[in-house]
Amino acid sequence: MLGASIGKIPIRILDAMVRGLASLGVPPNVLTTIGVMINIGCGVLFGMGEFFWAGIVLIVANVFDMLDGNVARLTGNVTKFGGFLDSTLDRLSDMVAILGIMVFYAGNTPQHSIINVILAGVAMIASVLVSYATARSEALGVKANVGFLQRPERIVLLIIGALSTWDWNSDVWWFNRMPQVLWVLAVGSIWTLVHRMYYIWKEFRKLEGRAV
């Protein structure tokens, strides 16, 4: 009961924000654009090595990501272009955060790591392909939101890795966990891509079988 009550608090706060923005007449596309601009700032912070603050900014950016769709639905301002814009800028937001991480680990710092650069690159490529496979299959009539490492999970992992990294010199075992997060992101994103493509293949075979 206590957990359920605590869980309702952020939902109520989000609902209040949505109602407030809707009453002010703020266009959902403006919220989407603000969200991606904040995400670009997050990528810059990652590139500078300010991982902890990048994690805080990433949380704020994703609040905006939740607001735009809810405001659109509440005001009846749901448009095809709005959905297209949101989906497209989501990909940009995903890539710019990971790009910042790649820039940092590629730099001339004590944390320089080619392995981390490669892991981040693999995670970025695979996550974009996961989203592309979903969009392409849906355009052809198959909905494929399967796989354990989807966008919300990827964002949560990035936030965990970022917030754990606020003292590069600390020997405490739970600090500076971004390298481990990158392994999970890289392997998990590839696994999700393979799983999703296999699922799409099976669904298309079913459709082709019914057509015959």
In tens, the pLDDT along 13-72 reads: 777 877 887 787 778 888 888 889 999 999 999 999 999 999 999 999 888 877 877 888
pLDDT at position 211, please?
Answer: 59
Q: Which amino acid is at 32?
A: T
Residue 207 phi, psi dihedral angles, 5° rounding? -65, -40
Close Cβ partners of 151 (under 8 Å, ≥ 6 residues apart) = 90, 94, 127, 131
CA distances from 188 to 123, 129, 142, 203, 211 (A): 8, 13, 22, 22, 34
Name the helix (H) or strand (E) containing 71. Answer: helix 51-75
Residue 165 has pLDDT above 70, yes or no: yes
Q: Six-digit token pair at 163? A: 């917030």
Contact 184, 159 (CB under 8 A): no
Domains identified in the chain and CATH numbers:
2-211 (1.20.120.1760)
pLDDT at residue 2 in the model: 35
**Separation in Å, CA 72 to CA 36, 63, 82:** 17, 15, 9
Please spell the DSSP secondary structure of 172-192, one letter per residue: -TTS--HHHHHHHHHHHHHHH
Q: What is the pLDDT of residues 142-154, one digit of tens each?
A: 888 887 888 888 9
Higher pLDDT, 159 or 65: 159
